[in-house]
């Protein structure tokens, strides 16, 4: 058996790179394993119009700001370029083309096995593969016989692909409103939004001011107070969405973020399109009957395209399902950052959304993780 490496991080996204940087700053040798041939794999696989909903001030990693002239909400291409630059300027070691197919305990450490049967050994393994790794689409009855397109929001593609189409968007969460914001210019012939639970929605901007600028202040408030602040902002800027048929959110936005890990969606044109009658609100999608989408209230729609904005899974169950480190219902890790998982040397980072955004939480969790691993490896690195 080859010698064990001190730390292996799996995943070369923002969380994996932030963790590797924090570990290396403590003098702990670390290598990042990435199944793709490049960093920022999830960003490369999402649609081209995607951009951050978090302000650039909270969307960089330690030691490297965005270049001058970067817009308030960096685009997909700008995020990819930033992460590529981060690896080089921070001197991180990333090994591409290693897709983990198995992990098992080997004495005091772990053995990782790739899909092509290579093996790596490490004292500590950090999973930074993300809470939104695998797009999830419900198995709607009759979907196989639907002659139109059923596509997940992650594969939205180009706005022009929906020109003249009748589009049903299923889900009023973060990805659902991302889709609606892109389609709100009237490209599609007709748009329906199928809603099961109403959202706690924030505008992307108030005038020329980015609302996410206030995230740092909202993050330190008690959850109940943040719920009230979000609800008040939504009502004052966007109005009462119930007048369009959107049901009231079952809980406050900050509460759902904390308890259900449901990110707060952002409006950037969708509500104006509702106001103009371009987006109709309908009941939850129940099934398909030939070329018709059947709703829970018995209504039927003749949609050409159904976009499933129905969330993501971690995809970790097949690797880690028997170790007691995942929530059985959701597949999400029970602990993240520097929190112990109950399995010595096994860690997670970047596995839940926060009000500050993914990049900020990647930095915070990366530092906590590095401190925890350094504490278990006294004498290996610095302070």
383 residues of the chain, pLDDT tens digit each: 567 899 999 999 999 999 999 999 999 999 999 999 999 988 887 777 789 999 999 999 999 999 999 999 999 999 999 999 999 999 999 999 999 999 999 988 999 999 999 999 999 999 999 998 899 999 999 999 999 999 999 999 888 999 999 999 999 999 999 999 999 988 899 999 999 999 999 999 999 999 999 999 999 999 999 999 999 999 999 999 999 999 999 999 999 999 999 999 999 999 999 999 999 999 999 999 999 999 999 999 999 999 999 999 999 999 999 999 999 989 999 999 999 999 999 999 999 999 999 999 999 999 999 999 999 987 444 33
Q: What is the pLDDT of residue 187?
A: 87
DSSP state of 46: S
DSSP state of 131: T
The Cα 67–Cα 78 span in angstroms is 10
Can you give the C-alpha Rg of the chain in angstroms?
22
**CB 169, CB 191: distance < 8 Å:** yes
Beta partners for residue 51, in sequence order: 75
- Class of residue 359 by CB neighbours under 10 A (exposed 0-12, middle 13-18, buried 19+): buried
**How far apart, in Å, are the Cα atoms of 379 and each of 26, 287, 376?**
11, 60, 9
Check the CA dihedral 161-155-256-330 and report its sign. Answer: positive
Q: And the tokens for 341?
A: 């998982």
**CB 105, CB 4: distance < 8 Å:** no
Phi then psi for 7, rounded to 5 degrees? -140, 135
Check the CA dihedral 278-283-288-291 and report its sign. Answer: negative
Instruction: Kindly give, in sequence order, each residue whose CB lies less than 8 Å from that of residue 347, ignoring residues fewer than 6 positions away.
Output: 124, 125, 126, 127, 338, 341, 369, 372, 373
pTM equals 0.92
- Give the residue from 1, 22, 17 showing the smallest Cα distance to 369: 22
Phi then psi for 296, rounded to 5 degrees? -65, -25
Residue with tokens 């700001």: 65
């Amino acid at each position: 058996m080859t010698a064990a490496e001190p730390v292996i991080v799996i995943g070369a996204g923002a969380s994996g790179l932030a963790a590797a940087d924090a570990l290396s700053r403590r003098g702990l040798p670390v290598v990042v394993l990435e199944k793709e041939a490049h960093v920022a794999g999830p960003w490369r696989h999402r649609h081209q119009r995607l951009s951050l909903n978090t302000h650039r001030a909270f969307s960089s990693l330690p030691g490297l700001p965005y270049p001058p002239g970067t817009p308030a909400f960096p685009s997909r291409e700008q995020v990819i370029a930033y992460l590529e630059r981060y690896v080089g300027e921070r001197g991180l070691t990333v090994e591409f083309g290693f897709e983990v197919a198995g992990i098992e305990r080997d004495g005091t450490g772990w053995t990782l096995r790739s899909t092509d049967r290579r093996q790596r050994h490490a004292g500590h393994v950090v999973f930074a593969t993300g809470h939104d790794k695998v797009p999830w689409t419900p198995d709607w009855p009759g979907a196989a016989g639907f002659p139109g397109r059923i596509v997940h929001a992650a594969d939205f593609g180009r706005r022009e692909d929906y020109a003249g189409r009748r589009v049903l968007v299923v889900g009023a969460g973060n990805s659902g409103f991302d889709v609606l914001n892109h389609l709100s210019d009237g490209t599609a012939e007709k748009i329906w939004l199928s809603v099961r639970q109403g959202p706690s929605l924030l505008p992307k901007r108030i005038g020329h001011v980015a609302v996410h600028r206030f995230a740092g202040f909202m993050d330190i408030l008690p959850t109940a107070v943040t719920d009230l602040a979000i609800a008040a902002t939504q009502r004052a800027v966007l109005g009462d969405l119930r007048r369009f048929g959107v049901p009231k959110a079952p809980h406050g936005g900050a509460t759902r973020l904390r308890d259900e890990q449901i990110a707060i969606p952002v409006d950037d044109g969708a509500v104006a399109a509702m106001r103009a009658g371009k987006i109709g609100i309908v009941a939850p999608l129940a099934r398909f009957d030939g070329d018709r989408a059947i709703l829970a209230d018995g209504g039927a729609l003749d949609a050409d395209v159904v976009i499933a904005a129905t969330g993501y899974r971690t995809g970790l169950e097949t690797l880690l399902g028997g170790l007691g480190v995942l929530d059985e219902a959701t597949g999400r890790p029970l602990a993240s950052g520097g929190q112990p998982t109950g399995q010595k040397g096994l860690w997670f980072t970047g596995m839940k959304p926060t009000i500050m955004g993914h990049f900020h939480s990647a930095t915070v969790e990366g530092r906590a993780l590095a401190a925890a691993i350094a504490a278990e490896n006294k004498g290996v690195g610095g302070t």
